[in-house]
Amino acid sequence: MESVLLVAVLVVLLISRWGRVMLGPYWWGPPAFRKAMDAFPGPRPTLPLLGNLVQLAFGGKVLHNGLAIIGRWSPSAFSFHLGPVPMVVLTRPEDYEAVIGKLTQKATYIYSTVESFFGVGLATLNGEAWRVHRKHITHAFHFRILERYVDVFERKGREFGDRVQRLADGATSFNVFPHLAFTANDTIFETAFGLDKSTNSAVSAAHRQEFVDAMEESFEQLQYRVLHPWLLMDWLYRLTPAGRRFYEAVDMIDGFAQSVIDDRRIKMRDGAAAGYSFLDLMMKIQPGEDAVVLNDAELRGELRTFISVQQTSATIMSFALILLAVHPDIQERVVDEAVAELGPEGGVTYASLTGLKYLERVLKETLRMYPVLPAMARDVTEDAQLTDGVVPAGASIAMVPIVTHRDPALWEEPTRFDPDRFLPERCTGRHPYSYLPFSAGPRNCVGQKYALLQMKAVMSTIVRRFEVLPGKGCGTMAELEKNLDVITFLTVSGGFNIRMRPRAPRIEPAACSPPPSFTDSVLRRDFGAGATLPAHASGR
C-alpha cells in the first residue's frame, strides 16, 4: 500500500505549490543556497523527496548505517539530505560552539513531526514562546522542589526490586528496560501528575500498562515517520496502519493527561492538592509581569515532554546496569560507596545522594558512551561560519554526540568504560562542547537535575540489593556494541538483558572496628595479640 501512496505523493508534489515547500530549499531555493550546500563534501542527494534516506534507512540498522556514513566523511563538516531537508553534519566541539545557542532553533522538519506527539510545549516551541515556557518550567525543578521527590524516587527503586525479585535467581536473563520504564512511569504518576499511592493503585489497575504501551508505540512510530518523509502529510499518514496506531496511542495519552488536569484543578480548588507535583506547579502560576498561564493544551504538551524524560532515564539506567554487569570491579566500587554513604539498607536523602560522587561519574560515563539521543538537529536562522565553510540560513545542522564522545582526539581510550575520566582534575582543559549528554547551550534539557537525582536514588537502591550479571546478547562490550540501534532513543536490539541475584549482606563501613593505632600495632608485634598499654599510659 505504501509504495502506491509514495507514487501518488510524488505526482501531487510535482503539480502542487505545497510540493515546493515539501521538497525543500535545496531543490526549489535560490541558486546561492544550493551552491553553499554543495561546497561541503558529502553524499549527493538521490531523489528530491528522499535525499540520502536510502543510504541511512535501508540495508541495515539505522544507527550503524549512520555511523558508517559519518565515518567516511568526518571529522570535516559534511552535507547530508535527511529526506527533503539539507543538513550539515557536525562532530567537532568547535563547530558545535559556533552554532549552538547563537543562531539556531529546533529543526522544523524533525520537530514538526514530533509535535504530533508533544503538542505545544517546550519540546517544540521556538523563539519568545520557548523562552517564556522555559522560564516558567525552570521553577518546577528548583532544588527545594526536587528534595520533596527523593522519597518517591527511593520508594520506586524498592518497588522495582520487589517486582524483579522472582527473576533474581542468578540464571534468568531478562530485559530490564520494561521494568525500569514501569518504574519511571510510576514515578511520573506521583511527581508529575500528583497522584498519591492510593490513587496510583487505582490508575494502575485500569490504565497503567495501557499508558506505558501507548508511550512505546508513539516513540517507535515517530522515528518511522521521520524516515518516511512522504508520511509528513498528516492526512496521508492518518490513512496508513502506522498512522492509525500512532494517533490511537496519542489520544490515549492525551485523554489520560486531560483527566488528570481536570482532577487536579478540582482538588486545588477544594484545597485537597499537596501542591508540589509538576502539574500543580504549572497550574499555580498567576498572571503577572513576565509570567504565563498555561492553557490545557499547553499543560498536556508539557506533561508529555516530562513523560519523555522518564523514558530517557529508564534507557540510561538500563545501559548503566549492563555496563556494571560487564565491569564487576566498577560495580563493587559503586556498592562500596552506596553502603558507605547510605548504609546497607538505609534510606536516601537529598544530601546523601549528592555524596554519591562515583555513581554520578558512572552515569556520566554511561551517557558519554551511550547518549540517549545519539544525534540532535537545529535550524540555522542566519549564515553560520564553521571551520570548513558557511552553513547557509535555511539549512539545518546535525550534532552527533555519539561520535564526538568517542573521538580519540578528545577522549583517551574512548571505547573503554572509565568513570574516573570525569574526576575534576581530568576534566580540566576539556572542551566544553566535547560532552553533550543532554544537549548544550540555552536549549539543554531543563529536567537533567531531576533525572540525575532520580537515577542516583534508584541505582543506589538496586545495587545494594542485587548483584548485576551479564545477560544474553550483552555479555561483553563487543556484543553490546554490535546490538546497538536507535528507535527515537538509543537502544539495544534484543533487549537490555541482564541477570541478577540477591547480594550478600554487607557490613556498613562505619560499623567496622577502627584500624589499630601505631602504638597498638607495635605492642601486638612485640608482646602478642592481647597486649595493651595501661589506661594512664595510653592517653585514652
* Residue 460, pLDDT above cutoff 80: yes
Query: In this structure, is residue 24 part of a structural domain?
Result: yes
- Residue 520's pLDDT band, with cuts at 50, 70 and 90, is very low
DSSP 516: P
Mean per-residue pLDDT, 431-457: 79
* Residue 163, pLDDT above cutoff 60: yes
* Residue 196, pLDDT above cutoff 90: no
* Residue 512, pLDDT above cutoff 70: no
pLDDT of residue 538: 40
Query: In this structure, is residue 43 part of a structural domain?
Result: yes
CA distances from 438 to 77, 125, 293, 400, 413 (A): 22, 18, 27, 12, 22
Mean per-residue pLDDT, 269-285: 70
What's the whole-model pTM score?
A: 0.82
- Percent of the chain, pLDDT > 90? 33
pLDDT of residue 210: 79
- Residue 271's pLDDT band, with cuts at 50, 70 and 90, is confident
Least confident stretch, 73-77, 186-190, 369-373, 509-513: 509-513
Mean per-residue pLDDT, 462-470: 97
Q: Which of 146, 512, 507, 509 is nearest to 351 (CA)?
A: 146
What residues pair up with 437 in beta bridges, in sequence order?
A: 439
Tell me the C-alpha distance between 152 and 40, whole Å: 50
Q: Is 427 annotated as a binding residue?
A: no
DSSP per-residue letters across 175-195: E-HHHHHHHHHHHHHHHTT--
Query: In this structure, is residue 302 part of a structural domain?
Result: no
Higher pLDDT, 540 or 463: 463
| Contact status, residue 66 vs residue 56, Cβ threshold 8 Å | yes
pLDDT of residue 169: 97
Q: Is 290 left (phi over 0), alpha (psi -120 to 50) or beta?
A: left
Query: In this structure, is residue 194 part of a structural domain?
Result: no
pLDDT of residue 142: 67
Mean per-residue pLDDT, 202-206: 51
Q: Which of 144, 256, 243, 130 is nearest to 203 (CA)?
A: 256
- Residue 533's pLDDT band, with cuts at 50, 70 and 90, is very low
Least confident stretch, 83-87, 399-403, 535-539: 535-539
Q: Which of 333, 518, 340 is nearest to 423 (CA)?
A: 333
Q: Which domain holds residue 22?
A: 14-66
Query: In this structure, is residue 286 part of a structural domain?
Result: no
* Structural domain total, the chain: 1
Mean per-residue pLDDT, 502-517: 58
Query: In this structure, is residue 28 part of a structural domain?
Result: yes
pLDDT of residue 537: 40
Buried b / exposed e over 48-75, threshold 16 CB at 10 Å, is bbbbbbebbbeeeebbebbbebbeebbb
Mean per-residue pLDDT, 210-218: 79
Query: In this structure, is residue 26 part of a structural domain?
Result: yes
* Residue 322, pLDDT above cutoff 70: yes
DSSP per-residue letters across 7-61: HHHHHHHHH-HHHHHHH-HHHHS-HHHHHHHHTS-SPPPSBTTTBTHHHHHSSS-
| Contact status, residue 512 vs residue 503, Cβ threshold 8 Å | no
Q: Name the burial class of residue 471, with classes exposed (0-12), middle (13-18) and buried (19+) by CB atoms within 10 angstroms of its CB.
A: buried
- Residue 295's pLDDT band, with cuts at 50, 70 and 90, is confident
Could you tell me whether strands 396-399 and 85-90 are parallel, antiparallel, or unpaired per DSSP bridges? parallel
Q: Which amino acid appears at position 335 of this protein?
A: V
- Residue 323's pLDDT band, with cuts at 50, 70 and 90, is very high
Least confident stretch, 23-32, 387-396, 517-526: 517-526
- Residue 104's pLDDT band, with cuts at 50, 70 and 90, is low
Higher pLDDT, 379 or 464: 464
**C-alpha cell read off for 276:** 508540589
**pLDDT digits over 68-87, tens only?**
888 888 888 999 988 778 88
Mean per-residue pLDDT, 275-289: 66
Q: What is the mean pLDDT of the chain?
A: 79
Query: Which of 232-236, 285-289, 497-501 has the highest mean predicted lDDT (pLDDT)?
Result: 497-501
Mean per-residue pLDDT, 5-12: 51
Tell me the C-alpha distance between 500 and 22, whole Å: 50
- Residue 288's pLDDT band, with cuts at 50, 70 and 90, is low
Mean per-residue pLDDT, 417-430: 95
Least confident stretch, 57-71, 271-285, 320-334, 374-388: 271-285
Query: In this structure, is residue 76 part of a structural domain?
Result: no
pLDDT of residue 1: 53
* Residue 386, pLDDT above cutoff 60: yes
- Residue 336's pLDDT band, with cuts at 50, 70 and 90, is very high
400 contacts: CB under 8 Å, gap ≥ 6: 70, 89, 90, 91, 374, 375
Tell me the C-alpha distance between 339 and 143, whole Å: 24
